[in-house]
Amino acid sequence: MKAYLDLVSQVLAEGILRKNRTGVDTIAMFGAHYKINLNEGFPLLTTKKVFFNSIIRELLWYLSGQTHIRELRQHTKIWDAWTSEEKNWEVGRMYGYQWVNWEKYTMDAETREYRMSHINQIQNVIDLIKTNPDSRRMVVTAWNPAVLDEVALPSCHSFFMFNVMGGKLNCHLTQRSGDIALGIPFNVACYAALTHMIARETGLTPGIFSHYINDAHIYVTHLKGLEDQLIRSPYPLPGLKIANKPFWNLEFEDFQLVNYRHYPAIKFEVAV
């Protein structure tokens, strides 16, 4: 995927050396942006093996709204570094919880007491696409300032929105912080899959994925692996098939990656 390799090259060329909370220095740049045409294939990196199964498991975990990884970690350990058995594998009201269970408080007119209800932001987007596709308010936010002190990791991919033009569903993701080697390949594939899911549900064709990364960074411990990728010529992108089922009924077995040709995996250590 040329867009990704161009992103790596741009950060290496324009970034500066910075310290951060993890203790592992980064080469970072401000304000990276690129677009990917989802009609050209499913954007899963071919210059290294990316574990598609983990991406779909994580996406379905987000959509479940769970505040723990007890079921997720039976299939993938990608979130283990941010919690533990002692914490009962809790991560708090982050990401998916905010997507589908955003808490809303309203005052009862008679009792003057506040009552809590929940907003399913994903369903609201689907409803808007179906009833008012010209809307410019198809927005989902995972950034909730009220829970930052309780979550395992404040949401990196914090804000995304959809747009319908010419029968195509476009998605834009704003990311506050992006680990180029480890996180970004997962993020791109995750939101591409979500766009495919919503497009199928609403009778549209996947269009453009637009991605803005506020702090785009490469950990210095990841340089060798990324340099290896830069000299690899990308293979054609794979395809994605999704079962013809209602959005909320889709399960892991309903996703099929087609013709995924890739180079060997590259191990990158997580900076926590």
Find tokens 């308010």 and name the residue: 137
Q: Look up residue 227 and give its two tokens.
A: 């340099």
User: What is the bridge-based pairing of β-strands 168-179 and 205-219?
Assistant: parallel
Task: Please identify which of the residues 11, 156, 198, 216 carries the catalytic annotation.
Answer: 156
Identity of residue 145: P
Residue 218, strand partner residues? 27
Determine contact, residues 160/173, Cβ cutoff 8 Å.
yes
Q: Look up residue 14 and give its two tokens.
A: 């324009």
d(CA 241, CA 42): 10
Alpha-carbon separation of residue 77 from 40, 55, 80 (angstroms): 30, 11, 5
Please give the distance of CA 246 from its chain centroid, rounded to a whole number: 21
Q: Helix, strand, coil: what percent of the chain each, to 5?
A: 35, 30, 35
The question of whether 156 is a catalytic residue gets the answer: yes
Catalytic (active-site) positions = 156
